[in-house]
Amino acid sequence: MDVESRGNLGVAMTSLQNQEEKESQTKSMGLLPVLLRLTWMAFGNVALFICAAYVAKGTAPVVMDIVFFTVVIGLIVVRYVDITKFKGQTSEGKPAALAHWRRYAVLIAIISAGLWALARVASSHKWF
**Euclidean distance between CA atoms 91 and 98, whole angstroms:** 14
Higher pLDDT, 108 or 8: 108
Instruction: Look at 127 and 8; give whichever has higher pLDDT.
Output: 127
Question: Could you tell me the residue ranges of all domains in the chain?
Answer: 30-124
Can you name the residues that pair with 89 across neighbouring β-strands? 95
8 Å CB contact between 71 and 51: yes
Reported as a single tens digit per residue, the pLDDT across 20-79 is 555 545 445 689 999 999 999 999 999 999 999 999 999 888 999 999 999 999 999 999
